[in-house]
Amino acid sequence: MLNTSDAPRPQRGIMGIILAFVPWILYWSLPAPWGLTGGLAGSALLLARQVGRGKPKLMDGVTLAFFVAAGIMSCGLHSPWFARWEGVLVFAVLAAMALVSLAVRAPFTLQYAREDWPQEFWHEPLFVRTNVHITLAWALAFLYGAGAAAFNTLNPPGIYAPLLTHAGTALGLAFTIIWPAYYPRRTIGRMLRKKERRRPRWPNPDLASWQQIRQIKADENDPPGPGRDSPIPLSLVYKVHPEDRFDVIVIGAGIGGLTAAARLANRGLRVCVLEKHHRPGGYCTSFVRKGYTFDGGVESISGCGPNGPVRLLLEELGLESRIEFRHHGHRLITPDGVIDIPSSYVEFTNLLIDLAPAEEEGIRTLMGELHAAYYQVYQDTPRTGGVPRPPATVDEMLRYPLDHPDFYRAMGYTWGDYLRRRVQDEHIIRILGLLTAYLGDRGLDTPAARMIPLMGYYVDGGVYPVGGSQRLADVLVEAIQEREGEVRLNSPVARILLAEDRAAGVRLEDGSELLAPVVISNADPQQTFLRLVGTGHLPADYVARVKRLRPSPSAFVLYMALERPSGLPERVFVLRDRPLPRDTFGIGSFLLVSNASLDPGMVPPNCGDLTMITLTRLTAEHLNCMARSDYLAFKEQLASIMLDYVEEVAPRIRRHIVHVEAATPRTFYRYTWNSQGCIYGLEPEAGPEGPVWLDRKTPIPGLWLVGASVEPGPGIEGVVISGTYCADEIYAGC
């Protein structure tokens, strides 16, 4: 049983236990033979009622069985032995029931607790453990009652004998009421405090004081009062021109870093974003070849629906009118056939039913649950800072399954296991698994909780920015610059400066230094700590953990400029059961992207574009070992084989290509510094309760992480959430 003060609800479970004692109360309080008759009739009616509701209880069955046996022994056999020891037998039977239920790991009080709480709680360890304690308390209470009854049987009973005999029962009932209100809250509170203690405990700097300090000129040897408590030593402050002193420095102009920077600039902080590339955006960039615009990596954006984090970010910054999103379609090509995914969620559901009519009930149930879970993810965002947030207090933890039941149910499953709860048809499962490619190469082993937000592609539709994915990065840059922030391109960072063991700024590769008491790294964490900070400044166990992290997949990408439209839908997922015979790269499945139909301005008139993307575990390190001539030959062979795959979908496309260009893990590493050219960040470690991400708050005071390698993970929507979390922890503003 569980109880929480901010979720008042009828205590059917406790009332059920009280009702379960009614036959016993009748048995104990009425004179013979009416006590036995009342107990038998009461237990029969109680059990019949529970059976009628489809919820028979163990205690009610044991009670009825006892009274039937008692009737036989008393009225049928007239047993003197039973007449003498019946008081002991009552409690002995109930104690045995409680102990046996514990032995088979099905505490009898669970049946009553489930009356009060939804199914999402029933298998929670804390829920079960609470009921183990309550059942054990009842077992002890019944054993005490048996002992007291035996004492009264063997000795002349005193005036208080009935009270003493039933004192255990009264204490058991009191424990049943009090313990669920106390124990879960205490346990969750301890868990939250333990989680918080595992985080670095350094405080944020006093940014209001620093804003006075950073304006000190080099010849001001007697700074104002607050300067004496500067988060950066004044001797270092004097060496840097005031124009190069900031409140926050962000390393890397990926969307996570730009989100944190824009939110902090919007709250009045002076922010500087440093990017090694000549364009902002990280993988959310576009480039032009012969008048054709292609994207570096992002081909679709989630989180743009009602209450979506990307939409709410743009609204908060006043940018929603500067960027236009257009919906794109999905086609799925599998060995079983070709499917065009409808734009309507209802039509999509009906399509799945047409493909597997024998599973209609399961499909409708599943799609209803997914629809509800998707909206539950975002239902709180207007009041939680524009992003979904995990519960952070005891009350929030207790309420979360009640307020988000369908999403909470999904949290314990992989995507494949979640789907197979309702549907067994493998074709349907393949269709619903196609979007796992947006999160990595784990396929159906992807956690279901990470897949639920992607249901927005079916509920609200997938969207793409007019002008290319670069447009999203550009409008965030505009927001930063309009709020007196800076975004410096072609500015690779060589070192994160530390002073008195805390972050103090950065040194660029040209030798110049910028100061800030807060540094946010949107760079790869292995690059951040092993290259920019140095292992000597970090705890040994933290260094070991960072080194253990496995890069996510990289990709092979083929960009094709066409002299005519591609003739394909905007997004085509191709799932193959085997690679082509001459494929030495293990390509198999891939995605085709065509944006010209969404935005004709991205290509010359009457022309088209096509991009093929396939994931790979080949690393940039492997390719970096190649001589230049070998690497160019590798890319040429790769492009040829990828074109073979494209022509399986778009026959004779080669004759219409005016420009073709391939990208490999080496390409992605060159432009992003991501470990091994990975495109989804570093993968989290596996923990007993799910993925364990690096904390955005690092062991270095003042140094923070954002991006795909920290919670909640990769994807544009994911890194927007990451940047928002970070900005809110640094400076919530007014």
| C-alpha 162: how far from chain center | 56
pLDDT along the chain (734 residues), means of 10: 42 75 79 79 83 83 85 80 83 92 92 79 86 94 90 78 82 90 93 92 93 79 57 92 96 97 97 97 96 94 93 96 94 91 94 96 97 96 93 91 91 94 94 91 93 92 93 98 97 96 96 97 96 96 96 96 95 91 87 94 96 95 94 95 95 96 95 93 86 94 97 94 97 65
The span from the CA of 660 to the CA of 636, in Å, is: 10
Assigned CATH topology for domain 246-299+470-550+683-730? FAD/NAD(P)-binding domain (3.50.50)
The span from the CA of 679 to the CA of 620, in Å, is: 12
For the chain, which residues make up each domain, given as ranges?
12-197, 210-235, 246-299+470-550+683-730, 353-461, 554-677
For the chain, how far is it from start to end, CA to CA, in angstroms? 41
Strands lying side by side in the sheet with 590-593: 337-341, 330-334, 571-574, 590-593, 608-616, 554-562, 657-663
* Structure token pair of residue 382: 């207007």
If phi > 0 it is left, if psi is from -120 to 50 it is alpha, else beta; for residue 501 that is left
Kindly report the number of other CB atoms within 10 A of residue 349's CB atom: 20
So what's the pLDDT on residue 506?
98
Residue pair 534/671 in contact (Cβ under 8 Å)? The answer is no
3-state secondary structure of 609: strand
HSE-CB of 710 using CA atoms within 13 angstroms? 26
The span from the CA of 101 to the CA of 110, in Å, is: 10
* Structure token pair of residue 333: 């090509």
